[in-house]
Amino acid sequence: MEKFGYTISKIRQIDYDSNDRSIADYIASGEPSFLKCIECGCCSATCTTGNFTRFSLRELNILIKRGENTQVRNNIRKCMFCGKCILVCPRGVNTRNVIALAKQAFQKAELYAV
């Protein structure tokens, strides 16, 4: 069949009400400091992974809170757990634990989905 190059663009809008934010709830209950993030980006600035790949913990924080889980799941594996982000966080967020819990939450979600 002839390809005309037309595609259907996926909507970029975050549909807050339809999104599943159970991952965020799971992290917040296990690591309450997660809620204190003010999105300053200090963690991403110091992040070794972030300096070599498209990985931003700050962005992941937001996406988790909005329930944009697919993007988070694909990205979160890149973290090497060095913990530099914890050292620089001005709000005292235990960022490493946030990632650990996020991974855990995804694992559980996948387990139950099967």
Partner 1 sequence: MSKHVVVIGGGVAGLEAAGWLAKAGFDVSLVEKEETTGGHINNWFKLFPDRRVSGEVKKYLDGISINDRVKLLTGTTLTEFSRNSDHFRLITNHGKELKADAVIVATGFDLFNSARKEEYGYGIYDNVISSADLEKMFRNGLITMADGNVPKKIGMVHCVGSRDEKVGNLFCSKLCCVTAVKQAIEIKENIPESKVFCFYMDMRMGGAHYEELYREAQEKWGVSFIRGKVSEAGETINHRIVVKVEDTLAGRPLKMELDLLVLMAGMEMSKDGRRVAELAGLRTGDNRYFAPEDHHFGANVSNIEGVFYAGTCTAPMNITETISHSRAAVAEVTEYLKSGLD
How near is the Cβ of 8 to partner 1 at its closest, in Å? 18
Q: Which CB atom, from 91 or from 108, has the smaller least distance to partner 1?
A: 91
Residue type, 95: T
Asked if 85 contacts 47 with a C-beta cutoff of 8 angstroms, the reply is yes
Q: Is 20 exposed, middle or buried (0-12, 13-18, 19+ CB in 10 A)?
A: exposed
82, 91, 108, 110: which one binds partner 1 (CB under 8 A): 91
- 49 Cβ partners below 8 Å, 6+ apart? 55, 78, 79, 80
Which parts of 10-29 interact with partner 1 (CB under 8 A)? 12-17, 28
The C-alpha atoms of residue 47 and residue 36 are separated, in whole angstroms, by 19
Asked if 60 contacts 72 with a C-beta cutoff of 8 angstroms, the reply is yes
Q: Which CB atom, from 38 or from 87, has the smaller least distance to partner 1?
A: 38
How near is the Cβ of 29 to partner 1 at its closest, in Å? 11
By the rule CB under 8 A, 31 interacts with partner 1? no
22, 35, 77, 107: which one binds partner 1 (CB under 8 A): 35
Site of interaction with partner 1 (CB under 8 A) = 12-17, 28, 32-33, 35-39, 58-59, 62-63, 65-66, 68, 91
